[in-house]
């Protein structure tokens, strides 16, 4: 019997779900040849599926038998793999995040961190924070079930589109700011805000994902003193220095995301992690107004204040950021994002293709969708 194979995007190398019409990471279309004709363009690369991934998938299917039908893999990282599944009882698509098998062997600390992510997110009920439905554990697999968000990660949209329109930036900033303000009021600091952890769904809503390294202010026993956690290009100076962080650290990271949306580039770059951290401590980013002349003064000044080195010099709260940077008028806060031309041209076609490739119950074919946080 031939070994099971997996298809990979010819452009970026990301694994493709069976039957997918496009790459979930870079948006590259997968050639589909009509009957009797050959496909045009570069064909996707096919590689043998690693044995450990088959074993994990088999263990998950066994653990979820009768509750969920596991359909396809959505994303994989160092800490977890995310699968698309069908909730049999409620007849809906869900995403299942599974802790990597190797990490299960690292002891209770890693398992507790994974469970804490689920508990932290599940305790937060907000329209712009991804909901958690259940946390489950069996002998060989630990996983939680969350809402399936069909759309694109913000980092892939920026990579494909470049600088985003001002109304789009204001809408995303307002929605993510609302979500983080809510989390902060409930004693939760995300600590890994970045464009890859912000999903844009098919209706143009921004949703914050991946609370894997979130800090619950009142929690004790899981603090990692002297260990740097987060993504270096988005981390605040105090986070780089492994000092205690507050909501001001999330504000700084969101400022990096806002800068990225407005200018198409990150404010701090370097050839190494240490070089990036040095820039966070010592360098001032080039003003937004210089790189984006059409940016309203209140928005450019608001973002630059979010990037202040000293937490005390940033905005007092997320609510202040939303008030200063502006929330576009329209039918709901999502209207400018969902209706903007470049959004419709870049994101909506991908979602439409995903719907055309919707899996049948009997073939475990994947449907296009989101990229969830899988590293934290």
Residues 6 or more apart in contact with residue 193 via CB below 8 angstroms: 176, 180, 208, 234, 250, 253, 254, 257
Rounded alpha-carbon distances, angstroms, from residue 352 to 66, 141, 348: 30, 33, 6
Distance CA 69, CA 137 (A): 17
Task: Classify strands 68-76 and 215-216 as parallel, antiparallel or unpaired.
Answer: unpaired
Nearest residue to 210 (alpha-carbon basis) of 99, 145, 121 = 121
- Is the alpha carbon torsion for 16, 13, 207, 205 positive or negative? negative
Residue 305 sits at φ, ψ, to 5 deg, of -70, -35
Upper half-sphere CA count for residue 331 (Cβ side, 13 Å): 3
Distance CA 197, CA 193 (A): 6
User: Any catalytic annotation for residue 319?
Assistant: no
Annotated catalytic residue within 87, 192, 201, 210: 192
Catalytic residues: 192
């Amino acid at each position: 019997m031939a070994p099971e194979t997996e298809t990979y995007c010819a452009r970026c190398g990301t694994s493709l779900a069976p039957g997918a019409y496009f790459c979930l990471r870079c948006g590259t279309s997968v050639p589909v040849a009509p009957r009797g004709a050959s496909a045009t363009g570069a064909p996707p690369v096919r590689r043998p599926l690693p044995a450990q991934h088959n074993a994990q998938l088999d263990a998950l299917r066994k653990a979820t038998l009768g509750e969920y039908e596991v359909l396809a893999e959505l994303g994989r990282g160092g800490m977890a793999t995310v699968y698309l599944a069908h909730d049999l009882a409620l007849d809906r698509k869900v995403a299942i995040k599974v802790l990597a098998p190797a990490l299960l062997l690292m002891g209770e600390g890693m398992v507790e961190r994974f469970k804490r992510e689920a508990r932290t997110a599940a305790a937060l009920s907000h329209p712009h924070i991804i909901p958690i439905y259940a946390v489950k554990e069996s002998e060989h697999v630990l996983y939680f079930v969350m809402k399936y968000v069909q759309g694109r990660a913000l980092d892939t949209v920026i990579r494909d589109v470049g600088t985003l329109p001002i109304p789009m930036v204001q809408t995303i900033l307002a929605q993510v700011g609302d979500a983080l303000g809510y989390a902060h009021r409930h004693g939760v600091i995300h600590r890994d805000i970045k464009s890859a952890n912000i999903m844009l769904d098919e209706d143009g809503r921004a949703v914050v994902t991946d609370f894997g390294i979130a800090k619950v202010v009142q929690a004790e026993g899981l603090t990692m003193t002297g260990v740097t956690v987060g993504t270096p290009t988005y981390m605040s100076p105090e986070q780089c220095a492994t000092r205690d962080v507050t909501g001001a650290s999330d504000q700084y990271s969101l400022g990096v995301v806002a800068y990225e949306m407005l200018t198409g580039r990150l404010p701090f770059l370097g050839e190494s992690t240490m070089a990036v951290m040095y820039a966070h401590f010592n360098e001032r980013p080039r003003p937004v107004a210089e790189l984006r002349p059409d940016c309203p003064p209140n928005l450019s000044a608001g973002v630059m204040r979010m990037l202040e080195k000293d937490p005390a010099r940033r905005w007092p709260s997320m609510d202040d950021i939303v008030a200063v940077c502006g929330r576009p008028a329209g039918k709901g806060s999502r209207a400018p994002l969902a209706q903007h031309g470049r959004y419709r041209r870049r994101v909506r076609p991908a979602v439409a293709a995903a719907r055309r490739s919707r899996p049948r119950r009997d073939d475990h074919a994947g449907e296009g969708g989101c990229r969830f946080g899988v590293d934290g």
